[in-house]
Structure 1
Amino acid sequence: MNTSNSPTTGAGAAKNPADPVLGEARRAAGDVAAEAKTLAKDAQAKMAELADDATQQARSFAETNKSRIAEQAAAFSGALGKAAAELEQSDQGTMARYARDVAHGIDDMSTALRERGVDELMQTVQDFARRQPAAFLGAAALAGFAAGRFAKASARRPAGPQTGDGTAGDTDFGAAGSWRGTGHYAQTERGH
């Protein structure tokens, strides 16, 4: 005869008092898991929406600046063409040829910027980077250097009103000195 206090199995088995609690815990865990899945899907949808918005804004920004850059490139190409003509007149044919070649290249780039969409331009750049990685890195470094110089030069411009000679008016830039109407940066002494 079995005298142990172990529960019996079968139809007449006594129920464990923890069973209802375990069942409720399992249902709660299932509810939490379902809610977590719903939240994850919602977050993923929101992230995709934000990414699409950012992509559209980047495209719009690129399209706007593409036109501006194309105009500036065309103007620069024209200036190089004039410089090439002047070089030819002063018997510097080799330099004139180089200047004209660069002007044609810039003019071609300007035309491509005007005629192609942003996606097509990006594909062209990616293709070039795959075919000529060293040239691409060199061009990227040169572009970065030029952008840095441009930013540095732009930061030095005085923000004051312009006078008739193209220089800034009497605008004070703080303790280090001030701009005067002469267009020169004058050091000033301040008692600090």
Structure 2
Amino acid sequence: MTKAKSAATQGKERTGNAIENLSKMIEDSAKTLDSNVGEKYGDYARSAADAVSSFAEKLNGKEIDDMVEDARGFVRKSPAVAIGAAAVVGFLVSRLIKSGMDDRDA
């Protein structure tokens, strides 16, 4: 169990870092939007960057055990949504695996 928890913690850290980098990319694109499209659209991008950054902070601030408990609570409250989300994730994972196998064959 400790190996799984360690792997989950590393995955959470990588995901948090990737999300934070995404926030920075969105923030950087806001300047381009200001000059090319208008400040209103740059403001939208800055708002999106703030929301993404806030999500990354929340993710980084949570422990794996807390995240598991949150997921359990969500499944109890909304089992249909959880099943739908699991189906979508399963589909996406299968597509990723299939595309990886196609790349290997080429």
TM-score by length of 1: 0.40
Aligned partners of 1:57 and 1:156: how far apart in 2? 30
Once the two structures are superposed, what CA deviation does each residue of 1:136-174 show, in whole Å capped at 9, x if it has no partner? 8459726963884498369748xxxxxxxxxxxxxxx8x
Number of aligned residue pairs:
104
Q: How does 1:61-100 map to 2 (within 5 A)?
A: 61-90=7-36, 91=38, 93-94=40-41, 96-97=43-44, 99-100=45-46
Larger-gyration structure (1/2): 1
State percent identity of aligned pairs: 18
Which residue does 2:69 correspond to in 1?
Answer: 123
Q: 1:153 to 1:132 in 2, by over 3 A?
A: same
Instruction: Give the Å deviation of 1:128.
Output: 4.1
TM-score by length of 2: 0.64
Aligned partners of 2:102 and 2:43: how far apart in 1? 34
Which residue does 2:56 correspond to in 1?
Answer: 110
Once the two structures are superposed, what CA deviation does each residue of 1:46-78 show, in whole Å capped at 9, x if it has no partner? xxxxxxxxx322111101111111111110110
From 82, 99, 102, the counterpart of 1:152: 99
User: Unpaired segments of 5 or more residues in structure 2?
Assistant: none
Instruction: Give the Å deviation of 1:124.
Output: 2.7
User: Unpaired segments of 5 or more residues in structure 1?
Assistant: 1-54, 158-172, 177-192
The amino acid that maps onto 2:11 is: N
The amino acid that maps onto 1:79 is: M
Which residue does 2:88 correspond to in 1?
Answer: 141
Q: Which has the higher contact order (CA 8 A, sep 6+)?
A: 2
Aligned partners of 2:15 and 2:88: how far apart in 1? 18
